[in-house]
């Protein structure tokens, strides 16, 4: 009996060392493997029921059906508890992820959570998964979440972990590198266990600083004595990836329920991509048996992934371009490592060698054998001009207003269509509310809006788009600034210790 239950428990291993074995809850607590690799399930589970059966489920039930296959060491009660505390009235619609048909595609709206970006889909549940995992593993320490953000992750993590017992959270953001709304969302955070710090540097500096704090063993020992241990809310944590698989299955089941598609019919997903977390979740959904034809990876002008899918060479040695879709301004897509590992036949040595090349030379090239494994992917990119034009044309055509990140995907899909004439029903991941980027969105609709004040534009957007201003925007309009701390790059560790003393 015992033997049986051990075998039933899905184990996680490292993309760089197959000897590593741990449970789902341990992987969530650790975030990153000691060898620098990412946790992956030893075997990918399959959907436990036909998709037809999911048509009758609400979002929470669908989440339980999918997530229980990955988080096998959580009891039913534990997992259902996490899910029901995450996907509740924090979302402004009971559907959680509504679909909106416009311009020949279905937009899968992932921005109805508290901070109006898709990061809420995973970060509303991660704190519950983490505190449950801590209990299961008899962790007595308080868990300190360290986060570096280029904008959206920071506030979503703050909102998720604010006043969660047994946790504290520190967010570092580049003090001159985030949008006005993004900064206001973070520095007005009221949670008593939160600390937000503006760093005199860019996002890479914040990220490098956080990694240095993580790997400082001496600091780790000092904090352990005081009853603290670090963890991560970054998208490399498997606890963020698994909840993201859910909405692909859920969205498919809605189309099936509404007879837009028939049983077993394939759909395409277009995903605006940065760190490769969201689209990797779609790939896992496909591997679980969801009928998917193509996964279309959409990039902005930082088109390192587009080049990779076209040529098989990943090369980060290029200019970093600041675009109107800042959450996709990234040259090292961390989660791509998981895909590389899988297409190498789950081979940690091959993957580790390529990641070492990325570290030392900033580039690597996959074999032609591995490249053949990528046929389920397509890649397109959109220039700044094409992105703005997509926002404008879709609004004219349908009255529907999308944000800049979603527009990158929309424009990429248009190019895919004109290349392939593919008639497959297609869903576009809509990753942020247009209110979060009202400046860029409104000037894409009409040049006359250029230079106007952000909140004034939010009011205008509400009028022309016929949508209510989300509470996330109203909240920050006149909110008190609580977090004023700023520091130099080499002062980050000191700030963490001060916060914890």
Closest CA to 240 of 325, 323, 334, 121: 121
The bridge status of strand 426-430 relative to strand 313-315 is unpaired
Least distance from ligand PLP to the Cβ atom of residue 380, Å: 15
> What is the C-alpha separation between 200 and 349, in angstroms, rounded?
38
Residue of 41, 243, 274, 410 that binds ligand PLP (CB under 6 A): 274
Select from 41-49, 172-180, 221-229, 270-278 the region that touches ligand PLP (CB under 6 A).
Answer: 270-278
Query: Considering the rule CB under 6 A, would residue 382 count as an interface residue with ligand PLP?
Result: no
Measured from the CB atom, the residue of 134 and 282 that comes closer to ligand PLP is 282
Instruction: Provide the 3-class DSSP secondary structure of residue 238.
Output: helix
Select from 203-211, 272-280, 354-362, 441-449 the region that touches ligand PLP (CB under 6 A).
Answer: 272-280
> What is the C-alpha separation between 160 and 58, in angstroms, rounded?
22
Mask of contacts with ligand PLP, 104-123, x by CB under 6 A? -------------xxx----
Measured from the CB atom, the residue of 160 and 348 that comes closer to ligand PLP is 160
| Window 134 to 173, contacts with ligand PLP (CB under 6 A) | 152
Question: What is the distance of C-alpha 363 from the center of its chain?
Answer: 24
Measured from the CB atom, the residue of 270 and 487 that comes closer to ligand PLP is 270
| Window 207 to 246, contacts with ligand PLP (CB under 6 A) | 235
Task: Please name every residue paired with 167 in a beta bridge, in sequence order, or none if there are none.
Answer: 143
> What is the C-alpha separation between 243 and 280, in angstroms, rounded?
12
Task: Please name every residue paired with 380 in a beta bridge, in sequence order, or none if there are none.
Answer: 298
Measured from the CB atom, the residue of 82 and 336 that comes closer to ligand PLP is 336
Query: Considering the rule CB under 6 A, would residue 29 count as an interface residue with ligand PLP?
Result: no
Measured from the CB atom, the residue of 23 and 323 that comes closer to ligand PLP is 323
Least distance from ligand PLP to the Cβ atom of residue 328, Å: 5
Query: Considering the rule CB under 6 A, would residue 327 count as an interface residue with ligand PLP?
Result: yes
Measured from the CB atom, the residue of 118 and 314 that comes closer to ligand PLP is 118
Measured from the CB atom, the residue of 261 and 279 that comes closer to ligand PLP is 279
Token readout for 144 is 């300190």
| DSSP string for residues in 45-80 | ---SS-HHHHTT--HHHHHHHHHTTT-TTS-HHHHH
Query: Considering the rule CB under 6 A, would residue 132 count as an interface residue with ligand PLP?
Result: no
Query: Considering the rule CB under 6 A, would residue 277 count as an interface residue with ligand PLP?
Result: yes
Query: By CB under 6 A, how many residues form the interface with ligand PLP?
Result: 17
> Euclidean distance between the first and final Cα of the chain, in Å?
47
Query: Considering the rule CB under 6 A, would residue 278 count as an interface residue with ligand PLP?
Result: yes
| Window 406 to 445, contacts with ligand PLP (CB under 6 A) | 431-432
Longest pairwise C-alpha distance within the chain: 71
Question: For the chain, how many residues are written?
Answer: 501
| Window 48 to 107, contacts with ligand PLP (CB under 6 A) | none
Residue of 115, 273, 302, 351 that binds ligand PLP (CB under 6 A): 273
Closest CA to 226 of 311, 142, 170: 142
Closest CA to 48 of 66, 64, 62, 61: 66
Query: Considering the rule CB under 6 A, would residue 328 count as an interface residue with ligand PLP?
Result: yes
Contact 278, 248 (CB under 8 A): no
User: What Å distances lie between residue 354 and 85, 337, 363, 453, CA to CA?
Assistant: 40, 9, 8, 46
Least distance from ligand PLP to the Cβ atom of residue 441, Å: 12
Residues 6 or more apart in contact with residue 345 via CB below 8 angstroms: none
| DSSP string for residues in 160-193 | HHTT-TTEEEEEEEETTSS-HHHHHHHHT---TT
Residue of 113, 201, 209, 272 that binds ligand PLP (CB under 6 A): 272
Least distance from ligand PLP to the Cβ atom of residue 262, Å: 30
Instruction: Give the H or E element holding residue 22.
Output: strand 17-22
Select from 101-109, 120-128, 201-209, 268-276 the region that touches ligand PLP (CB under 6 A).
Answer: 268-276
Residue numbers of the site for ligand PLP (CB under 6 A)? 117-119, 152, 235, 272-278, 327-328, 405, 431-432
């Amino acid at each position: 009996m015992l033997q049986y239950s051990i075998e039933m428990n899905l184990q996680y291993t490292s993309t760089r060392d197959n000897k590593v074995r741990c449970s789902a809850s341990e992987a969530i607590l650790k975030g990153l493997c000691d060898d620098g690799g990412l946790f992956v399930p030893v075997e990918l589970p399959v959907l436990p029921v036909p998709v037809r059966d999911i048509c009758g489920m609400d979002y929470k039930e669908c989440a339980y059906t999918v997530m229980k296959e990955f988080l096998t060491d959580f009891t039913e009660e534990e997992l259902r508890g996490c899910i029901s505390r995450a996907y509740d009235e924090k979302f402004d619609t009971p559907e959680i992820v509504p679909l909106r048909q416009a311009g020949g595609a279905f937009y899968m709206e992932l921005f109805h959570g508290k901070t109006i970006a898709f990061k809420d889909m995973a970060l509303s549940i991660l704190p519950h998964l983490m505190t449950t995992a801590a209990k299961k593993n008899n962790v007595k320490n308080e868990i300190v979440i360290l986060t570096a953000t280029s904008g959206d992750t920071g506030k979503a993590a703050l909102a998720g972990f604010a006043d969660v017992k047994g946790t504290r959270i520190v967010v570092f953001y580049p003090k001159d590198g985030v949008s006005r709304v993004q900064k206001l969302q973070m520095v007005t955070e009221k949670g008593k266990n939160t600390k937000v710090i503006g760093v005199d540097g860019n996002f890479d500096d914040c990220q490098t600083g956080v990694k240095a704090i993580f790997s400082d063993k001496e600091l780790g020992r000092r904090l352990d004595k005081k009853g603290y241990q670090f963890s991560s809310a970054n998208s490399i944590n498997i606890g963020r990836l698994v909840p993201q698989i859910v909405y692909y299955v859920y969205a498919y089941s809605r189309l099936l329920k509404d007879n837009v598609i028939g049983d077993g019919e394939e759909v395409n997903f277009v995903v605006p991509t940065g760190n490769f977390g969201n689209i990797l979740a779609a790939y896992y959904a496909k591997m679980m048996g969801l009928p998917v034809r193509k996964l279309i990876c959409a990039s902005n002008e930082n088109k390192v992934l587009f080049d990779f899918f076209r040529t098989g060479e990943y090369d980060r040695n290029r200019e970093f371009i600041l675009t109107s879709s800042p959450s996709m301004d990234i040259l090292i897509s961390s989660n791509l490592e998981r895909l590389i590992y899988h297409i190498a036949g789950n081979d940690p040595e091959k993957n580790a060698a390529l990641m070492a090349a990325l570290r030392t030379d900033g580039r690597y090239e996959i074999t032609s054998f591995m490249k053949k494994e990528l046929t389920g992917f397509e890649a397109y990119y959109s220039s700044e001009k094409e992105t703005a034009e997509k926002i404008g044309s879709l609004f004219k055509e349908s009255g529907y207003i999308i944000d800049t990140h979603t527009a990158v995907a929309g424009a990429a899909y248009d190019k895919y269509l004109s290349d392939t004439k593919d008639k497959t029903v297609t869903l576009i991941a809509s990753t942020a509310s247009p209110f979060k980027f009202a400046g860029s969105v409104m000037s894409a609709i009409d040049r006359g809006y250029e230079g106007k004040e952000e909140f004034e534009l939010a009011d205008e957007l509400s009028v022309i788009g016929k949508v209510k201003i989300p509470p996330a925007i109203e909240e920050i309009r006149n909110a008190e600034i609580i977090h004023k701390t700023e520091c130099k790059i080499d002062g980050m560790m000191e700030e963490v210790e001060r916060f914890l003393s």
